[in-house]
Amino acid sequence: MSTTSDLRVAVQYSSSQNPLLFKVKTTSFMERGADLQFLSAFPGEAEIAFGPLTYLKPTGNSQMLKVGEKTFTVVEVVPSFAS
């Protein structure tokens, strides 16, 4: 699973009529993905990768975010790991 820490990049990749963004909330470095920006062919994308079998659990918090003409649904999630 690949993510970005840059909202502008996330907005660029969301070309849906009803765009949905996930806001990944972590409480410790053990829950965070690996920063791959230094390896990326596109370093400006601020790419962060999570390991295999990582799934996202919704926290129940969400909000609407308007950027330009588009309105995004932002759902807060926490990473969970298969055991």
**DSSP string for residues in 26-50:** -SSGGGS-EE-TTT-SSGGG-EEE-
Q: Distance (Å, rounded) from C-alpha 44 to C-alpha 5?
A: 10
Average pLDDT, the chain: 89
| pLDDT at residue 44 in the model | 83
pLDDT digits (tens, 9 = 90+) for 46-61: 899 988 889 999 999 9
